[in-house]
A = this chain, B = another copy of it.
């Protein structure tokens, strides 16, 4: 079920020069001095689906946290034409929907409904609109009936879907997912993949699951030690076994699935 982005409360985005996301030579060091990002440049066009891969500690999560201004104020990032500055943050957080890896960190309200409503409420939308958006987002992830359920009663796969709904309810232009398939069994993973395939929205996804990358993402970016070591068509990069091996990856099986 693709999410339609036409409603009363549509964001008026400034004109964008073809790129919905632009990063120019981004550096970042954690307070302890660890230089997690060392010159990242990336451009993303509207509607693209990009996979971000790389070994543990490569800096994937760090990069994603920059995309809606949680880390690194005044970074050289522009999102839908907006620069990453303090006064733009609320708008940017409405544009970029960030889903964390562990749904237990993302779903912090007692009930599913309250959780999905959190984002729209904090955008200051009227109650009626909030309710409509929650319904819509739950429908988009196929969990309409779960509104009144308690978050802790859900299975891992269900929690993952609800996490995505919490962000969809904010009608983001870009969906940023941190390792969405980790910890899912093959069936739940398959249904997640099918769900993501149906979603027509710009998407940046970090993952260790190269098989999913091959199935779902035309473009792939390999990150290692804070730099982008490769950026190109997934089909090409996955053929380059040497490259993969050098960055802790493994050529996935391309025959079994689909």
Residues of A within 8 A of B (CB): 55-57, 155-157, 182-188, 190, 208, 210-211, 248-257
A186 to chain B, nearest CB (A): 4
Which among B184, B185, B250, B254 is the interface contact of A190 at CB below 8 angstroms?
B250
- Tell whether, in the assembled complex, residue B155 and residue A56 are in contact, meaning their CB atoms are under 8 Å apart: yes
Residue of A184, A190, A255, A256 with highest tally of chain B CB at under 10 A: A256
| Known contacts A155-B56, A155-B57; A186/B250 CB under 8 A | yes
* 22 A-B residue pairings within 8 Å (CB atoms): A55-B187, A56-B156, A56-B157, A56-B185, A56-B187, A56-B188, A182-B182, A182-B183, A184-B208, A185-B248, A186-B208, A186-B210, A186-B249, A187-B248, A187-B249, A190-B250, A211-B253, A251-B256, A252-B253, A253-B253, A253-B254, A253-B256
Say yes or no: B253 contacts A185, CB within 8 Å. no
A254 to B248, CA, bound (A): 19
In the assembly, what is the distance between CA of A56 and CA of B185, in Å? 6
Q: Are A185 and B208 in contact (CB under 8 A)?
A: yes
* Minimum CB–CB distance for A244 against chain B, Å: 8
The residue in chain B whose Cβ has the minimal distance to the Cβ of A182 is: B183
Asked if A250 and B257 make an inter-chain contact with CB atoms under 8 angstroms apart, the answer reads: yes
- 19 further A-B contacts with Cβ under 8 Å, apart from A55-B185, A187-B249, A188-B248, are A55-B186, A56-B155, A56-B156, A56-B184, A56-B188, A182-B183, A185-B208, A185-B248, A186-B208, A186-B210, A186-B248, A186-B249, A186-B250, A187-B248, A190-B250, A211-B253, A250-B257, A253-B254, A253-B256
Most B CB within 10 A of own CB, among A185, A251, A257: A185
- Give the residues in chain B near A56, CB-CB below 8 Å: 155-157, 184-185, 187-188
The one of B185, B211, B253 that contacts A255, using a Cβ cutoff of 8 Å: B253
**Which residues on the B side are within 8 Å of A211 (C-beta)?**
253
Which residue of the partner chain B has the closest CB to A58?
B185
Partner of A250, one of B155, B157, B254, B256: B256
